[in-house]
């Protein structure tokens, strides 16, 4: 009898313990599910907070202390930053240094020009930056948030690179020379305001100095004008520079948005809007550009117009371009994202085809390269490329006034370019 009672008691106890275990597991599952839900809902805000912190850190690094502020009519804010505080001098190899003395200029052979004086909107009120400072376009939180990420702001999207620089949704109408050693390039480009139809597309006209294998080690130096709603938030044509040493992957940037290009000029704001611009059947306004390797120090210098030195890319930034360029390219480029299913309506140049000619189509004129002895020479063995000629085309010519020149551009989407 005692034995039977003991068995019954232990059985009840076992069942009760089992019930408690099941109850405990159910509570754990409920609480765990609730905690998991809370973690999911709090994960995104945490990511946003981290992004904002990265953004603030970047803005603090790139927007330097200024001694004067100028408000441009297009909404830009131009800060006059002491030259030695510009972003380039954050680079370990430049820290504590000052901009270099003037470079040795290339020899010019009986050169004449009819270029209009280069102007930017921010300086048309007569305001300027003091000597010893440089004008820097202030980067805003809104600017950075337009980019796909803080890390990619101020950089071109990675893209497949082919020998002719096409591919990856990037389309070109260009001329190029290769097969020799090049120490610079020069041209005059008329400035337009092409329509860009997608927020993540751009339209540009520029000079490229290129070296490397067109793989992950591609080196480029680039300068010209561009319309980029993503980068600037509007459709003004803007003077810009770019560089990369790894095919647009992790190195380099536009303008002064990273440590690289050293600006020496207090009258030009890289990234600021150009005004006036060329008009269809009207006056044409040119941007004269020259990039060359200074024989004295080896750095790559940039000149605007005739004699207006903008600054230089330090030679240590590069691998293949430490010695010379193996290819020089001139022309237009657009991004075709096909966001509406068909070809983009983003224009190149004036938005008109090359065949329309002067006062209607965009052009490059007086194309030259710099040789090993720092002489400007006309181009030889010129190659012409339009990778989508029904959308954007090119027509090259030569005469005594414009030397080697070409017209280029187009409207993008049209009946022959669906």
Task: Kindly list the catalytic residues.
Answer: 222, 333
Nearest Cα residue to 385 out of 121, 102, 157, 170: 170
CB of 247 closer than 8 Å to CB of 319: no
CB of 292 closer than 8 Å to CB of 106: yes
Nearest Cα residue to 303 out of 168, 127, 35, 113: 113
Tell me, rounded to whole angstroms, the distance of Cα 108 from its chain centroid. Answer: 30
Contacts of 278 (CB under 8 A, 6+ apart): 190, 191, 192, 284, 285, 350, 362
What sign does the CA torsion over 193, 219, 89, 309 have? negative
164, two tokens: 């002719």
Q: How far apart are the first and last CA of the chain?
A: 97
CB of 272 closer than 8 Å to CB of 120: yes
| Alpha helix segments (H runs only) across 234-351 | none
């Amino acid at each position: 009898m005692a034995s039977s009672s003991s068995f019954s008691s232990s059985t009840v106890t076992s069942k009760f313990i089992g019930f408690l275990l099941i109850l405990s597991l159910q509570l754990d599952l409920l609480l765990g599910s609730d905690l998991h839900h809370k973690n999911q809902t709090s994960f995104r805000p945490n990511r946003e907070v981290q992004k904002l912190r990265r953004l603030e850190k970047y803005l603090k690094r790139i927007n330097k202390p200024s001694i004067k502020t100028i408000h441009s009519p297009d909404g830009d804010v131009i800060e006059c930053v002491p030259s030695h505080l510009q972003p380039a001098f954050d680079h370990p190899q430049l820290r504590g240094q000052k901009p270099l003395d003037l470079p040795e200029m290339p020899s010019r052979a009986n050169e004449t020009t009819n270029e209009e004086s280069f102007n930017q909107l921010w300086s048309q009120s007569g305001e300027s930056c003091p000597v010893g400072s440089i004008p820097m376009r202030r980067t805003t939180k809104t600017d950075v948030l337009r980019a796909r990420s803080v890390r990619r702001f101020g950089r071109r999207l990675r893209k497949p690179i082919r020998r002719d620089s096409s591919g990856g949704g990037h389309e070109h109408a260009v001329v190029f020379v290769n097969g020799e050693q090049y120490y610079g390039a020069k041209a005059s480009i008329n400035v337009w305001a092409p329509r860009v139809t997608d927020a993540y597309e751009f339209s540009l006209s520029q000079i490229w100095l290129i070296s490397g294998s067109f793989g992950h080690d591609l080196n480029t130096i680039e300068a010209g004008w561009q319309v980029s709603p993503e980068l600037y938030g509007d459709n003004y044509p803007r003077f810009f520079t770019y560089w990369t040493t790894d095919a647009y992957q992790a190195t380099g940037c536009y303008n002064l948005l990273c440590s690289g290009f050293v600006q020496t000029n207090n009258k030009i704001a890289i990234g600021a809007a150009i005004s006036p611009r060329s008009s269809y059947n009207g006056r044409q306004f040119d941007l004269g550009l020259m990039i060359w390797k200074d024989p004295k120090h080896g750095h790559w210098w940039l000149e605007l117009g005739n004699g207006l030195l903008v600054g230089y890319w330090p030679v240590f930034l590069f691998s293949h371009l430490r010695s010379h360029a193996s290819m020089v390219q001139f022309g237009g480029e657009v991004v075709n994202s096909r966001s509406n299913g068909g070809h983009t309506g983003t224009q190149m140049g004036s938005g008109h085809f090359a065949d329309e000619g002067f006062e209607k189509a965009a052009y490059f004129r007086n194309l030259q390269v710099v040789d090993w002895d720092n002489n400007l020479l006309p181009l030889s063995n010129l190659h012409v490329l339009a990778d989508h000629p029904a959308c954007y085309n090119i027509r090259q010519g030569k005469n005594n006034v414009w030397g080697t020149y070409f017209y280029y551009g187009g409207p993008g989407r049209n009946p022959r370019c669906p």
